[in-house]
Every structure is written in C-alpha cells, then in structure tokens.
C-alpha cells in the first residue's frame, strides 16, 4: 500500500493537469516523484514522433547539459528503437551497458550515471515515448519497475499533447 509520500506525489501529478502549462507541470511533478525513490541523477522524458521516426527530449532534470526540445532520428538511438518496438522497459545495470547503448556515454559518466531505466509510456498498443532515469552503477533493479511504470503512465496526457504539438 502506498505511503503518504506516494499519495502526495500522485496528487501533485494529477493536480498538474489543471495548471496553465500542464505538460511542463506534469513532467516536473513526475521528476519530483521519482527523485527519492527509486532516485536519479538525470531524469529525461523523450516523446516519440512516429510520423518523423524521431524522438524529442521534452523534459530534463539537467537542462543545462541535456536541454529539452532537441530531436534525434531513431537511427541514432538503437536502445530507444528497441524499447519503442517491444514496449518493454530496459534496465542497464553497468557502465558497460551505458557505453554500448548511448553514444553520449562519456557525458553520462561525467554526471556519475552508470545505470539506466528506460520506461515506455503506452496508450493502448502504442508507445508514446519513454521516461528515463539514470544513476550510479547497479542502482536500479526489477523491483523498481512497477513504481516507475505506474507514475510514468500518469503522464499519458502530457505525452499525447506533445505528440500533437
């Protein structure tokens, strides 16, 4: 059963739906909800634009290093392609997992990021994008996935708004 802190995070995410800028407010509330449990050093949200075969960074906890707004072709992001195709999360436990799957691995290592979770956000059979958490080596495990998945799915309206923009 969720504790009061978990309920407060859920309430903040839901309250963000009614803000003047609901997309940013939802993503910020999601970032905050995942800060302590399971935690992250870098938190990003990528929205998938299938008609363009591109992903767009819609949110970043480190906007000075990983600014929102940029797009990249899925041909440049093999791990993103796999998560989008399978609809299943990816956990990278080690520095080697980061090196093999992310061309910007040196930048990630400089932030102390040596493990990752890429959680797909789905509506029906469609993957709308991913919620991505990065932290120190071996930080994430399978037991973290249900919480990440549940909170990430609350952002479906924000993902859909980003795709429509």
pLDDT tens, residue by residue, 53-94: 888 999 999 999 999 998 888 776 677 778 888 899 999 999
Radius of gyration of the chain (CA): 15
Give pLDDT, residue 1.
40
**Residue where the block lists tokens 């309920």:** 7
Each residue's pLDDT tens digit, 107-149: 999 999 999 999 999 999 899 999 999 999 999 999 999 999 9
Fold observed for domain 4-164: Beta-Lactamase (3.30.450)
Give pLDDT, residue 148.
97
Question: Is the model more confident about 33 or about 5?
Answer: 33
User: In this structure, what token pair is assigned to residue 56?
Assistant: 């767009």
**Residue where the block lists tokens 């120190």:** 136
Domain positions in the chain are 4-164
Give pLDDT, residue 23.
97
Question: Hey, how many other C-beta atoms are within 10 angstroms of the C-beta on 5?
Answer: 11
Give pLDDT, residue 103.
84
Task: For the chain, give the secondary structure using H, E and C.
Answer: CCCHHHHHHHHHHHHHCCCCCHHHHHHHHHHHHHHHHHHCCEEEEEEEECCCCEEEEEEECCCCCCCCCCEEEHHHCHHHHHHHHHCCCEEECCHHHHHHHCCCHHHHHHCCCCEEEEEEEEECCEEEEEEEEEECCCCCCHHHHHHHHHHHHCCHHHHHHHHHC
Q: What is the mean pLDDT of residues 97-101?
A: 89
Give pLDDT, residue 74.
75
Q: Is the model's pLDDT at 14 over the cut of 70?
A: yes
Each residue's pLDDT tens digit, 24-38: 999 999 999 999 899
Give pLDDT, residue 6.
75
């Amino acid at each position: 059963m969720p504790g009061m802190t978990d309920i407060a995070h859920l309430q903040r995410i839901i309250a963000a739906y009614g803000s003047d800028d609901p997309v940013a407010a939802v993503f910020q509330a999601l970032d905050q909800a995942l800060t302590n449990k399971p935690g992250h050093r870098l938190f990003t949200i990528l929205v998938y634009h299938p008609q363009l075969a591109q992903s767009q960074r819609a949110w970043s906890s480190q906007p000075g290093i990983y600014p929102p707004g940029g797009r990249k072709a899925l041909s440049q992001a093999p791990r993103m392609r796999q998560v989008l195709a399978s609809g299943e999360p990816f956990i990278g436990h080690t520095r080697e997992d980061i090196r093999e799957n992310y061309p910007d691995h040196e930048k990630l290592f400089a932030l102390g990021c040596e493990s990752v979770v890429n959680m797909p956000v789905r509506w029906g059979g469609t993957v709308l994008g991913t919620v991505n958490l990065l932290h120190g080596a071996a930080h994430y495990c399978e037991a973290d996935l249900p919480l990440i998945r549940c909170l990430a799915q609350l952002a479906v309206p924000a993902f859909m708004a980003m795709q429509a923009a």
